[in-house]
Amino acid sequence: MSLADDAANLTHRDPINKGSIDVTSDGATVNNVVVEGQINDDWTRVFALFNLNAAEFEVVDDTVRMSTWQQSKATEDGTRDAIQLWSYSARFRRRRSTDVSPKTLAAWQAALRAHPLPRPVQRRDGSTYVILVADPQLGKKGTEEAVANWRRGVEAHLALAQLLAPELASVHVAFMGDETEGVCNNYGNQPHTVELNMSRQLELDFDLRVWTIKEAASLGLPLSVSSVISNHGEWTRNGSKEPVTSQGDNASTHIARQVRKLFDELAEHGAAPAIDWHIGAGDPAITLTLSGVDCYFSHGYIEKGRGSSSETRTRNAIERQILGRTEQLGETSLFFTAHYHHFYSQEFEGRTLFGCPALEAERSSEYMLNQYGVWSPAGMLGLMVGAHNQRGWSNLNVF
C-alpha cells in the first residue's frame, strides 16, 4: 500500500468478523476484530485479515482493548460445538527507521548460531549475580571510552561470577537506562555535541547488549534480563517537557525488545538458551524476585522526593512509593536506581538503596563539571543477591 493511499486514511473492513482497520502513514487502528484464540503480542493474524504486513507495525502501549465469549459453531459431522472468540481493538504505529538493520541482525544470528550458547544448569538453591549497566549515554563525547567502560565492567563482573559460581543459581543483567545519548531536546546544545547520529547510537546499543547477554549466558546458569525506561530514551521529548507520545515510547526499552526478539528466535532453533525477560513500558520501575529477594529497578529520573541531595531525595521518593503502593512494594528490600552518575548506597528500615555509577566517559558531563565541579569515576555496579544473609546481598563491587 502506498503512502498516498495511507494519507487518504483508508478503512479496510473484513466481511466475516465485522472488524475494521484504519490505516494512515503514521500507523493503524484496529477496531473490534474478532479472532479464534487469544493474541499474545503476535498480531500477524489480525493484519493478515486485511492483507497487511504485521512486521510494519508495533502496538502502542496501553491501547489494547479486548473481550471474549463463547459461540456455537457447526462441526464437520453436522453437530455443533462451542468455540472461544476474542475481539480486539488497539492502536499501532509504524516501525521506525531506527530499528536495528537487517544486516546487523543477520550478522549476530550467524555468529551465535556458529557458536551455540550452553544449556543452563538448573540449581534449586543459590543466589543471583546481578550486573547493572547504567548511563553509558552512547553517542555523546567520549563514546569510545564509554564502550571500553561497558566491556571492562561486564568482563570483570563475569570473572567474579565465575569464581562465585558454586554459590550461584542464576545471573541477572539489568539495563538501567540512558544507554544512548539522543540527539536533541535533552539540553540546548545537544545536537552540537553528539558524536553519533541516532541510528548509529541505537545500533551500538544493540550490539553491546547482545554481546553482554551472550557473555553472561556463557556462564551456563539461568539468565534473566531487565530493561527500564529513561530520560535520554525519550526520543519524542519536547525540550525539557514530558515526551510527546508516552514514557513507554522509549529508546531504552525499544532496543531491549529487539534484542529479546533476536534471542527468542535463536532459542527456537537451539542456538541460545531461553531467557527470562522483564522489559518496562509506561511504569518507571520493574519489580521482580531474585533468589527469594524482592528487587526494584528504575532509572530514577521519575522518582522525585524532598531532600538536600540526590541520595536523600531518591530515598524520600521511594519511601513515599512504599506508602502509596504498599501491596506491591511493602516486601521489597533492594532498590536499584541510576541517573545521578555516581555510586552510593543507603540502608533504611531493613531496606537498601543502591545508586549506580555511570559508564559514560569520565568528566564528559560538562554541565555538572563546569557548573559545580562535580564528577565521579566511571564504573559498573555488580553484586550477589539472595537469602544467604540478613541483608539479602553481598560481594558488591564497582569495576
> 102-398 sits in which CATH class?
alpha beta
- Among 357, 362, 294, CA closest to 329: 294
Q: Counting Cβ atoms within 10 Å, is residue 19 exposed (0-12), middle (13-18) or buried (19+)?
A: buried
Residue 84 pLDDT greater than 70, yes or no: yes
For residue 371, the model assigns a pLDDT of: 65
If pLDDT is split at 50, 70 and 90, which confidence band does 9 have?
A: very low
For residue 74, the model assigns a pLDDT of: 66
Mean pLDDT rounded to a whole number for the chain: 87
If pLDDT is split at 50, 70 and 90, which confidence band does 16 have?
A: very low
In angstroms, rounded to a whole number, what is the distance separating the alpha carbons of residues 204 and 353? 30
- Among 372, 307, 296, 306, CA closest to 337: 296
Which has the minimum average pLDDT: 119-123, 166-170, 283-287, 307-311?
307-311
For residue 247, the model assigns a pLDDT of: 82
Q: What is the pLDDT of residues 240-261, one digit of tens each?
A: 677 878 888 899 999 999 999 9
- Among 377, 382, 376, CA closest to 398: 382
- Among 283, 276, 311, CA closest to 297: 283
In angstroms, rounded to a whole number, what is the distance separating the alpha carbons of residues 62 and 50? 23
* 36-48 as b/e: b if 16+ CB within 10 A: eeebeeebeebbe
Question: Between residues 24 and 65, which one has the greater pLDDT?
Answer: 65
- Among 190, 232, 253, CA closest to 61: 253
Domain assignments of the chain as residue spans, ordered by start: 3-94, 102-398
Q: What is the pLDDT of residues 231-242, one digit of tens each?
A: 999 988 877 677
For residue 5, the model assigns a pLDDT of: 42
If pLDDT is split at 50, 70 and 90, which confidence band does 370 have?
A: low
% of the chain exceeding 70 in pLDDT: 90
Residue 171 pLDDT greater than 70, yes or no: yes
If pLDDT is split at 50, 70 and 90, which confidence band does 297 have?
A: very high
Grid coordinates representing 365 are 558531563
Residue type, 42: D
Residue labelled with grid coordinates 557473555 = 215
Q: Strands (DSSP E) along 281-359, which ranges?
A: 285-290, 293-298, 334-337, 344-348, 351-355
For residue 53, the model assigns a pLDDT of: 85
For residue 145, the model assigns a pLDDT of: 96
